[in-house]
Amino acid sequence: MSPTPDDPLVLVRDLRVTFTGGRAPVQAVSGVDLTVHRGEAVALIGESGSGKSVTLRALLRLHSPKRTVMEGTIRVVGQDVLALGGRALADYRGKVASMIFQEPLLALDPVYTVGKQIVESILRHENVSATDARKRALQLFERVRIPSPERRLDAYPHEMSGGMRQRAMIALALACNPQVLLADEPTTALDATVQIQILLLLRELQRELGLAIVFVTHDIGAAIEVADRIAVMYAGRIVEEGPARTLIRAPRHPYTLALLQSRAHGALAKGSRLQTIGGSPPDLAHLPQGCAFAERCRFAADACLATQPPALELAPGHQARCLRTEATAAAANAVTAMA
């Protein structure tokens, strides 16, 4: 069956990723569902160890097969990603979905010029001449707005500034016209004035090329600038997901609320203390039976410790895995009323 235009480009169902290399197996991702349509940008946010990058890398099958067990379903543009092997997997990477990383200086090869790396990628995937590939590389550099593109194609990664390198990596990722762009903290290493340029570029590419973007970040601000929908991860699960506006204005999971409230922001009075989340995230090798956040949650009830809360549909497209969403709603409303 061929995919229809309305089908989601990315469809993840009950994804479980377990790392088996250590003493005890680590459940980095335990049951993630994610749907991304054409032209849609979804941000995965969460703290270190929440499983956001592991989920993203699973979409491109970047985890070592020897030390990783992956279960569930990942369908990207109609292909069963977990079943791909050898040649088909190599064709999939870059042509269907491609990724940009946090540190372009590590992701790009230091001994080849950036132009050469883009040309190589095009020649690997498509049956075109080297001249045409180079022409395409030049267009890509113009597309991501690198000044004097002709000259920059012959530059080595170390000869470029941080923002320029990130643009070059985006050009490389787009070289074979993928439909899905995966971005792993793409602006974390950049300066503030450069970060906003890259965020705006991603938004523009999403709109003009109809890309589906999955964007991993720990910065809520960056997520808001780019994403239509935001998914909040905690201990390997998406605990809340919804349209960016809803999630920021009316969070329903206590962890989302706590994350929003712990941020330092301009409206805070001098000398006032920030709200913090007590305790620390659970050990992924020994996950609790119930809700993973219950131990740190101010609304936790006995039921929270006993079973895993199911995803609760609060409004179309807005879900939270929590038994006490009404408590969070009351707390969130109290904050809004005060402001």
Distance CA 310, CA 26 (A): 22
Token look-up 């590939």 returns 133
Which residue's CB is nearer to another protein, number 40 or number 92? 40
Nearest approach, Cβ of residue 190 and another protein (Å)? 9
Specify the long-range contacts of residues 241-245, CB closer than 8 Å, at least 24 apart.
Answer: 241/317, 241/318, 241/319, 241/320, 242/314, 242/315, 242/317, 242/318, 242/319, 243/317, 243/318, 244/43
Which residue's CB is nearer to another protein, number 74 or number 247? 247
Which residue's CB is nearer to another protein, number 126 or number 219? 219
Across 22-56, b (16+ Cβ under 10 Å) vs e yields eeeebbbbbbbbbbbbbbbbbbbbbeebbbbbbbb
Nearest approach, Cβ of residue 206 and another protein (Å)? 13
Which residue's CB is nearer to another protein, number 108 or number 244? 244
Q: Which residues bind another protein (CB under 8 A)?
A: 47-48, 147, 161-164, 191-197, 199-200, 203, 218-222, 224-225, 244-245, 248, 258-259, 262-266, 268, 270-271, 273-277, 280
Nearest approach, Cβ of residue 280 and another protein (Å)? 7
Nearest approach, Cβ of residue 219 and another protein (Å)? 7
Nearest approach, Cβ of residue 211 and another protein (Å)? 18
Distance CA 241, CA 263 (A): 20
Nearest approach, Cβ of residue 226 and another protein (Å)? 9
Of 266, 251, 256, residue with least CA distance to 332:
251
Nearest approach, Cβ of residue 16 and another protein (Å)? 24
With the CA atoms of 334, 227, 54 and 315 taken in that order, what torsion angle do they form, in degrees rounded to the nearest 10?
A: 50
Which residue's CB is nearer to another protein, number 4 or number 48? 48
Which residue's CB is nearer to another protein, number 3 or number 221? 221
Token look-up 């808001």 returns 224
Q: Tell me the torsion sign for CA atoms 164, 166, 168, 171.
A: negative
Q: Which residues pair with 30 in a beta bridge?
A: 16
Q: If DSSP codes are grouped into helix, strand and coil, which group holds residue 215? A: strand
Nearest approach, Cβ of residue 110 and another protein (Å)? 19
Q: Tell me the torsion sign for CA atoms 143, 145, 149, 155.
A: negative
Question: Measured between alpha carbons, how far is residue 131 from residues 125, 147, 169, 252 in Å?
Answer: 15, 21, 21, 54
Which residue's CB is nearer to another protein, number 48 or number 64? 48
Distance CA 263, CA 224 (A): 14
